[in-house]
Structure 1
């Protein structure tokens, strides 16, 4: 039963990642990977909120599997982040590569902390 929840979340998360990436990137005329940045930050926010809700007893283990492992696991992408950063560096856009690393880590952690804070405010 648990694996069905992970699959269901992944079935939503993977196409959502692709569609979000394409929609966001098409609106920016730059080599910076805004689409991947966006899905990773949004996924961090969702996972932070889910973690906060679970800590407050407001999220079941089934919801954690569906949204945390399934949806966020398919929505966020460390491999694409790594590939795009490497590609930027190899193509001579080292500044953008460095900004991608720093901004992704800072924004991802900030979004996760914000998600936990929001959940604590709602369920504490």
Structure 2
């Protein structure tokens, strides 16, 4: 099955000046021709032109709808690129790693004495 990638670009809004090109229509056609030839040299095929709605901000809280003219191009995705898109995934089951040893409470030496428990301040002991 043939797969394609697409490119959508804004259509030119102005024509291009050139020697011998006088009218607005001819200048606009020249701009389109140059754009399409440049993309064609990169392997893109022209598909269509569309005028699509686009919401824009108007003021602080409002919106307005404008229409944007775009050109749609496509080109075939090479087979090598398709293979790298979704590489084959192999899952190997492994034994779970052994859990890290848990550390318990510290052991006191049998020869050591427990700390003395009592009031921290000597004046409290007199009471």
TM-score (normalizing by structure 1): 0.25
- Max radius of gyration: which structure? 2
Between the two structures, name the one with larger relative contact order (CA 8 Å, sep ≥ 6). Answer: 1
- Which has a greater percent of helix? 1
TM-score (normalizing by structure 2): 0.24
- Which has a greater percent of strand? 2
